[in-house]
A and B are shown apart, each in its own frame.
Chain A
Amino acid sequence: MNRFFYIIIATIFISSCEVIEGPYMNGTIDPIDTTNNVYVKNILIEDFTGHTCKNCPDAARELDAIHDVYGSQIIGLAIHAGQTFARPYPIDPTGNPDEKFIYDFRTSWGEELDGFFQVSANGLPKGMINRIDYSSSGDHRKDWGEWANIVGDELSKDVLFGINIEINQTPLMLSDQFDIIINSESLSAMSGNYKLVVCLTENNITNWQKDGDNDDESYVHKHVLRSFLTPTFGEDFASEEINNGDSFSNAYSPVISTLENNNINHSQNILTLGNGNAGDWDLNNMYVLAYIYDESNNEILQVEEKSLLNK
C-alpha cells in the first residue's frame, strides 16, 4: 500500500514539468484583423525609464517586440523619471568631453506620475500596462517580462470608448501651433467618472543611453514624453451615467515652442540636477497621444495616438 502511494505521488510530481524541444518559435503569427472595426482596443504601455539605466533598453526592445506582434494596438509612452537613472550629468566639457548623458529627458508630468505611482522607487525598468492592478492586490508596476502576457489579456477586453484625434493648422496660426481636437465616443452604457489625458511624445531621438555594459551614443529613444496638454491626471470628461453612443469633444491649441521652453525652464530651475538641456524638439517626429481612464481605479480604457504633422 505504501509503495503504491509513493508511486502515485512520484508520478504526479514528475509529470509536472514540460521539457520543450526546438524550434521554440511558434508558427506564423496571424495579424489581428481589425479592418471591419471602427474602434479596436488599444493598449498603453507606460515605460518608466532612464538614460543611465543599463537594463532599460531591454524593456524598450520588449515594447518594440510587442508592437511588432500587435501593431498599432500597442502604444508606448517612455517616461524618464526618478532620482537615480533619469538625472542628466552636468554639462562639463572638461570632465565629460563626450557629453555623455547630459540631455534632460525628464518632465514635470513624468515626475508627478512617477511620484504618484511610485514606480522608479521600486527600481527601473518598470512599466504600467493600461495602469491595471493599481487598485487590486496585484502590483501595477510590471517588470518588462510580464508585459507580453498582460497585453494578451488586455486585448481581449471590451472596447468601451473610441477616440479619434483631429489635428489642424489654420493660416492665422504660428508655424508650430496646432488645433488638436479629441473626439471620443462611448461604445457602451456606463456609470462612473472618466478622465481624458492628452500629451505629446517624440519618437526617434538619438542620444546617449546605457545599454547593458555599453554607453551607446547612437541609441534611438522612442515614444518619449514631452509635454501634457491636460493636467497630469486629466480633465473631467464624462461622469455618472453615460449612454451607448454618447460623444464628446475636447480641443487644445498648443504652441510647441512654448511647451519646449517650459520644459527647458523646468529642467533649469526646478528639477534636481537639471541643466536646462531639454530642447531640440523635432515636430516631424512628434505625436499626440490621448487616453481615457476610469478615475475609480486608474485603469486606462482606451488610448490613441496620431502624428502631429499627420504623417
Chain B
Amino acid sequence: MKNKFLTFLFSISCCNLIAQNNGQITGDFSLNLQSYVEDAAINAAAADEVVLNNAFLNLTYSSNNFIIGLRYESYLNALLDYDSEFRGNGVPYRYAGYTIDGLEITAGNFYEQFGSGLIFRSYEEKGLGIDNAMDGIRLKYKIGKGISLKSFIGKSRTFFTYAEGIFRGIDAEIDINESFELENTTKYILGGSFISRYEQRTNPKFIIPQNVAAYAGRLNILNGGWNYYGEFAYKINDPINSLQENQMNYASGSAFTNSLTYSQRGFGITAEIHRADNMLLLSERERTGKAYIMNYIPTLSKPHAYTLLAIYPCATQAMGELGVQLDIFYKIKKGTLLGGKYGTKVNFNFSRINGLEGGYSMLNDNQDHSPDLFDFSQELYYSDINIEINKKINKNIRYNAVIANQTYNKDFLEGKTPGEYGVLNSTIAVLDLSYRIKKGHTIRFETQALFSKQLETASKEAEGDWLMALAEYTISPNWFFAIQDMYNYGNENESKRLHYMNINVGFLKGSTRFEIGYGKKREGIFCVGGVCKLVPSSNGLNLSITTSF
C-alpha cells in the first residue's frame, strides 16, 4: 500500500515537472527468464514454476538541480541462484533529491561507500543478488576549497524490507593541496569516516552495546607515476546477542589496506597488503547472509574472467585474513623480437591470503585473544600466481594466453569440515584466439584446461581435471552465436565425468540486447570482488533482454 502511494506520488510529481520544465527521463530495463528441468546427473532440480524470472526497470527524471527516480523489481519467482526472499513485485528503490548552494540532499533510497568500504558500503550487485540500498536521508556538502562532507541516516534494505539497525554515518575528505593552495608536485588527500549502528537489544545475562561504532582514516599520496593509498579501520565491541558465553565476543575489530603503485607508459607495478580481523559489520548483529553485510574488504586476488580460472575463486574473509598481492604490467615495445609488429602486453600477478594466528580476536570474561599482526605462516586460504600475455599478431589475428597456478582451501572457503575436500592445487592454461574473417565477421576460440590435485587426503571425491572449449561467431553489429562445453573428465567419481554444454544466440540493436541460451550449469562458487555466492547446478533455457534509453 505504501509503495503504491509512493508510486502514485512519483507519477504525479513527474508529470507536473515534465509539464513545467524541459527535464530528462532516462532508464534501463533488464529481464532474465530461466527454465529449470531436473537433471539428476548434475544434481539439478526442476522448478515447480518451470520458468523463473528476475526483471527490473529503472526510471530517472532530472531537471536542473532536481532528480527523482525509482526502480520496479519483479521476481516471479526469483532465479534459483537468488535468495528466495526476493519474491514478488514492488518498488523497493525510490528517491528524490536536489542540490542547492553546494548542498546535495537525497531523501529515500541511495547507495553509499566510505573510502574503500572497510566500515561501510551500501551497493547493488545484481550478479550476486545483493542490494543493501539505504533508505533515509543523505546530505553531501562541499565546504570551501577541497573539502567535502557527506553524512546520512537510514536503514539498509534486505530483500523487500529493511533491517532493524539504524545507521548514522559521516565522511569527510580533504584535498590538502587544494585546501591550502599548495603548489606542490605531491598531492595529498586525507579522509576520515565514522559509522554508528543502533539496535534495540536486551539480554538478561550479558551487557549489550546498543550503539556500535566504527571509524576509518585514509590517505592518498600521488606524485608523478607514484600512487600510495592506505586506509585503517576500527570497530568497537559488537557482540552477538546470545546467552552463551563462548559466543559473546567483545573484541574490537580492525582492518587495513595499503597499496603502492608506480605506472608509466607501457609499465605498471602495484604492491598491496591488507589484513582484516573481526571486521564484519552487519545491519543486524545476529543475522547471517550476505544481505546483512554492510562493509567490504576489497579482495586481493586478480578477478579472472575465464571460466576455469574462476572455478575456484577467492572469497574475502572479513572475520580474519592477511593477504598480499603483486601485479606487474609491461608492454614489450613494437618492433622488438618479442614485441613483434604491434607490441606484446604481459601481466604478471601473484596473490596469497592466509588466516590469522589463532583465529580472529576474541574477548569475553573467559577468553582474551589477539592474533599477531603479521604472520604469513598460518593456514593458507588461497594463492594464485599467473601470467597473461596479450598479443596482436596481424590485423586479423590476436590472442590472449594465461597460465596460472592456484591453491584453494576448499574446506575453509566453502565452509566444509576439515578433511572433506582438503586443499586443491590447480594448474590452469587458457588460450583465447580471435580471427577477423572479414569486416564485421569475427570468430573466437577459447580453449582452457585445468589440472587439479588434492594436496592432502580427503574423505570426499575431488572434481579433478576439466577441459573447456568455446567457439563464438560475431557478426557486427547485430549478431553473435556461441557454443561452449565444459568437460569434467578427471572427476574421481566416474559417474560424474560429465559435459556441461551451452549454446547461446544474441541479437543487438542499438542499446537493446536479446540473448537466448540453452544448457547446463555446474554447481559452484561465483564471486565479484571477493563477495561470493553459491550457484546451484541447473539445466534449462534462458532468455535475457536488456535495454536502456
Contacts and interface: CB of A to CB of B under 8 A. Distances in A.
Given A16-B211, A17-B209, A18-B210, A25 B245 contact: yes
B288 interface: yes
Contact of B84 (A9, A118, A146, A214): A118
B281 to A, nearest CB: 13
A152 B204 contact: yes
Contact of B201 (A16, A137, A149): A149
B381 interface: no
A145 B364 contact: no
Contact of B247 (A54, A58, A152): A58
Given A24-B207, A149-B201, A69 B243 contact: yes
Nearest to B159: A139
B36 to A, nearest CB: 15
A107 to B, nearest CB: 22
Contact of A18 (B84, B85, B211): B211
A38 interface: no
Contacts of A118: 84
Contacts of B204: 26, 29, 69, 148, 152
Interface string A230-248: 0000000000000000000
A122 B289 CA distance: 10
Indicate the size class of the contact surface on chain A: 35 or more
A255 to B, nearest CB: 37
Contact of B85 (A10, A13, A122, A215): A122
A156 B365 CA distance: 29
Interface stretch (A60-68, A184-192, A298-306): A60-68
B457 interface: no
A146 B209 contact: no
A20 B170 contact: no
A12 B169 CA distance: 11
Given A13-B196, A123-B289, A2 B143 contact: yes
Contact of A13 (B170, B239, B241, B364): B170
A69 B244 CA distance: 11
A16 B206 contact: no
Contacts, number: 126
A31 to B, nearest CB: 10
B203 interface: yes
A171 interface: no
A201 B85 CA distance: 31
A172 interface: no
A149 B203 contact: yes
A20 B250 contact: yes
A54 B284 CA distance: 22
B415 A54 contact: yes
A5 to B, nearest CB: 10
Nearest to A66: B243
A23 B365 contact: yes
Contact of A26 (B168, B206, B284, B418): B206
Interface string A80-124: 000000000000000000000000000000000000001001110
B16 interface: no
B244 A24 contact: no
Contacts of A65: 205, 242-244
Nearest to B196: A16
A25 B206 contact: yes
B49 interface: no
Given A118-B84, A143-B287, A145-B242, A16 B168 contact: yes
B242 A62 contact: yes
B194 interface: yes
A1 to B, nearest CB: 12
Given A16-B196, A17-B236, A213-B417, A24 B242 contact: no
Nearest to B213: A17
A148 B203 contact: yes
B248 interface: yes
A216 B305 CA distance: 41
A197 to B, nearest CB: 26
A14 B151 CA distance: 13
A54 B243 contact: no
A129 B240 CA distance: 18
B495 interface: no
B202 interface: yes
29 contacts: A2-B143, A9-B170, A13-B151, A13-B169, A13-B194, A16-B196, A16-B213, A17-B209, A17-B236, A18-B209, A18-B210, A19-B237, A20-B207, A20-B250, A22-B250, A24-B364, A24-B365, A25-B205, A29-B204, A54-B415, A65-B205, A69-B243, A123-B289, A143-B286, A145-B241, A146-B241, A149-B201, A149-B286, A213-B418
Interface of B: 83-85, 143, 149, 151, 161, 168-170, 194, 196, 198, 201-207, 209-213, 236-237, 239-245, 247-248, 250, 284-289, 363-365, 415, 417-418
Interface of A: 2, 6, 9-10, 12-14, 16-20, 22-26, 29, 54, 58, 61-62, 65-66, 68-69, 118, 121-123, 137-139, 143-146, 148-149, 152, 210, 213-215
Given A10-B170, A65-B205, A145-B247, 11 more contacts: A13-B170, A17-B211, A18-B236, A22-B363, A25-B206, A54-B417, A143-B287, A148-B205, A152-B202, A213-B417, A213-B418
